[in-house]
Amino acid sequence: MIEIGLNHYLVLSTILFAIGLVGVMKRKNLLMLFFATEILLNSVNISFAAISHYYGDLTGQMFAFFVIAIAASEVAVGLGLLIVWHKRYNNIDLDFMTRMKG
Amino acid sequence: MFEAIAFYLFAFLTIAMFYITVTTSQALYALTALAAGMIFISAFFFILGADFLGAVQIVVYSGAVMALYAFGMMFFDTTREVQEKKGNQYLVVGLATISAVLAVLIFSAPIISDNITALYPVGTHGNTQEVGMVLFTKYLVPFEVAAVMLLVAMIAGIVLAGKKMDESLTLMTEEEIKDMRAEKMRPKDLK
């Protein structure tokens, strides 16, 4: 209980991942869906850093860096598309985006 | 001892913040709680000795990403309540928990079997120096590819949400684009 091991971090990462998945499944607003995706990416980053620390290997941290880079570009492109969609239809609900034709 | 106290404190704070992010019906509350949760997550990185990763987490997530979201939210109507899907809540929570446990098991399977060896052992230098040495030798090509990907994302963001939105091709119908092309093709003196 007092000694913090790898399992503690893995359990924490599981809890955060579950919270993010609940958000992805129950949100209808696309902006809120993006927030939930950020939570998912961050929980994975925690487990990468923890494994990297407890096994004395830097590769986990490297992957966490690349995950952060991917998250940043996802936000840039996703928010741009979202703004275009909102200017055109004045609505960012998922149920409204059921057809693929632009 | 202090490590345990810090871990439990930040674990509780992070879970509380992300719970607020997922459950609140106000977009502004969700954004603020998410930013707070990102900063608390960087505390785990500092506890784990990944100093550079913690700094990058604060700079990129709570700085850049949150600022982007804040700017994006100025375009949307954030004062009205966010609508939720009406479904079976227990099913959603159960499915999410099962998927999360499965994902973590997939990650930890090679660890439990003790099948991994440290390729890049943590040495005696500082964390930042070691990260630099590994990043610019073994992971140089992925690093460059990530840089190109960020450039592509930046150009996409400028094209999609930049200025002169009234002339943006992504917002126009086909007829408007044809009209604009015809307008450009016509010589000025004939007008």
- Rounded distance, CA B53 to CA B44, Å? 10
Query: Does the structure show a pLDDT above 90 at B17?
Result: yes
- B191 pLDDT more than 50: no
CA–CA separation, B29 vs A40, rounded Å? Answer: 19
CB A8 within 8 A of CB B8: no
How close is the nearest chain A Cα to the Cα of B179, in Å?
A: 19
Residue B172 has pLDDT above 70, yes or no: no
DSSP string, B35-52: HHHHHHHHHHHHHTT-HH
DSSP B138: T
What is the per-residue pLDDT for B168? 58
The DSSP secondary-structure symbol of B125 reads: S
At B175, the pLDDT band (50, 70, 90 cuts) reads: confident
Whether A64 and B50 lie within 8 Å, measured CB to CB: yes
pLDDT recorded at residue B26: 84
Confidence band (pLDDT; 50, 70, 90) for B58?
Answer: very high
Closest in A22, A62, A81 to B96, CB measured: A22
Distance CA B11, CA B93 (A): 20
Q: Which segments of chain B belong to CATH 1.20.120.1200?
A: 1-84
Q: Percentage of chain B surpassing pLDDT 90?
A: 29
- Read off the CATH number of the domain in which A81 is found: 1.10.287.3510
Average pLDDT over all residues of chain B:
81
Average pLDDT over residues B87-109: 81
Integer angstrom CA distances of residue B49 from A50, A57, A83, A90, B111: 9, 12, 39, 46, 20
**Which residues sit opposite B121 in a β-bridge?**
A57
Question: pTM for the full model?
Answer: 0.82
Q: What is the mean pLDDT of residues B54-63?
A: 90
Tell me which of A68 and B82 has the higher pLDDT.
A68
Q: Count CA within 13 A, CB hemisphere, residue A74.
A: 14
CATH code of the domain occupying B1-84: 1.20.120.1200
Q: Are B136 and B143 in contact (CB under 8 A)?
A: yes
pLDDT of B119 reads 67
Structural domain contains residue A22:
yes
Q: What is the pLDDT of residue A89?
A: 78
Burial readout B26-57 (b: 16 or more C-beta within 10 A, e: otherwise): ebeebbbbbbbbbbbbbbbbbbbebebbbebb
Lowest-confidence segment of A20-24, A46-50, A91-95 by average pLDDT: A91-95
User: Does A57 have pLDDT greater than 50?
Assistant: yes
Domain hosting A71: range is: 6-97
Per-residue pLDDT, averaged over B64-87, amounts to 76
Q: Can you tell me the ipTM of this complex? A: 0.90
How many domains does chain A fold into?
1
Contact (Cβ atoms closer than 8 angstroms) between residue B157 and residue A77: yes
Is residue A15 a contact partner of residue B99, using CB atoms and an 8 Å limit? no
Nearest to A86 among B49, B57, B76 (CB): B76
Does some domain include residue A1? no
Q: Is it the case that residue B124 has pLDDT exceeding 90?
A: no
And the tokens for B156?
């996409």
Q: Search chain A and give the residue with CA nearest B168.
A: A84
In this prediction, residues B14-34 reach a mean pLDDT of 90
Choose the most confident range, by mean pLDDT, from A71-75, B71-75, B164-168, B187-191. Answer: A71-75
**A53 pLDDT exceeds 80?**
yes
Q: Quick check: B100 and A35 CB within 8 A?
A: no
Distance, in Å, from the CA atom of B175 to the CA atom of A61, rounded to the nearest integer, reads 51
